[in-house]
Amino acid sequence: MNQTQKFLFLSIAVLFVLACNAVVGTPSAPVPTEQPVQEEAPTPMPTQTPRPQPTDIPTEVPDLAATEQADEFYTLLETFKEKGYLTTTEGEITTLAPFEEEWAQIGWFQWWEYDVTTAAEFLFKARFNWVSATSSPDPSGCGVIFGLQESGDYYSVFLDNRRIFFYMFRKTLYSVGKTSGKGTTSFDNPAESDFVLAVSNKKAYVSVDGDVTVYTLSEDQTTAGNFALSLLSGTNKDYGTRCTATDMVVWSAR
């Protein structure tokens, strides 16, 4: 199953513990990370909302700004390899067109797929900006879907004003607890952050403004697959939650 949009309701229900290698963190109500969700029938994306498309980094960099951006990204790759987050820096690099969407249904998220498929080892970077129409929203923010399969299985990560939310979906949604690092954030509304996600050898490294939290992923669920940007809404008011993502680059190992 490979839809361009999907909705999930974060319901109040019994805690589900990930039965594989991921460790569930300490519950902290009322955040939805420890809650399972039920999948609703997919709703097609409105035709007036075009799906964002990736654009390849040009072989010949046209100006100084682009050159500096490329140099910064390669430095990021090298740094993550030196820290052991990645095993190689050899791979394919794709820049993604800027993303901006809003969504006003509290406790739900949806996603927009890019025409990108990542390997099991990859890195994604972006500048996230998000804002909610209420001053005290429920958990909300920009997010990423990766390892999306035809079966509907996937992983997802959301950056909220107070913490990182990490999920694995396999027939139901499970919370993936952190292995090390804080996993917490401290942002106002609106908020902005430099976000990096690196995945390698069944581990995920989420960097928020340089502060890294590590997660251990399931041994029997692939991290390779389709890639999407996502938005978790924290309020029903007005436009709900709005997410803008810029300076987006995806690197996928060969």
**Distance from first CA to last CA of the chain, Å, rounded?**
25
d(CA 3, CA 164): 25
pLDDT value at residue 69: 80
Q: State the virtual CA torsion across 143, 147, 150, 151 in degrees, nearest 10.
A: -90
- Report the chain (254 residues): mean pLDDT per 10 consecutive residues: 42 31 27 34 32 43 62 94 97 93 93 95 98 95 96 96 96 93 96 98 98 97 96 96 96 95
Q: Any idea what the CATH number is for the domain that residue 248 is in?
A: 2.60.120.560
In a domain, 1, yes or no: no
In a domain, 122, yes or no: yes
The parent domain of residue 201 ranges over 8-24+31-43+56-253
Structure token digits, residue 134: 């209420």
In a domain, 170, yes or no: yes
pLDDT value at residue 60: 42
pLDDT value at residue 65: 58
Q: What is the pLDDT of residues 46-70, one digit of tens each?
A: 323 333 444 444 434 445 456 778 8
pTM for the whole thing?
0.77
Closest CA to 127 of 205, 231, 208: 208
In a domain, 2, yes or no: no
Number of structural domains in the chain: 1
pLDDT value at residue 4: 40
In a domain, 50, yes or no: no
In a domain, 199, yes or no: yes
In a domain, 86, yes or no: yes
In a domain, 37, yes or no: yes
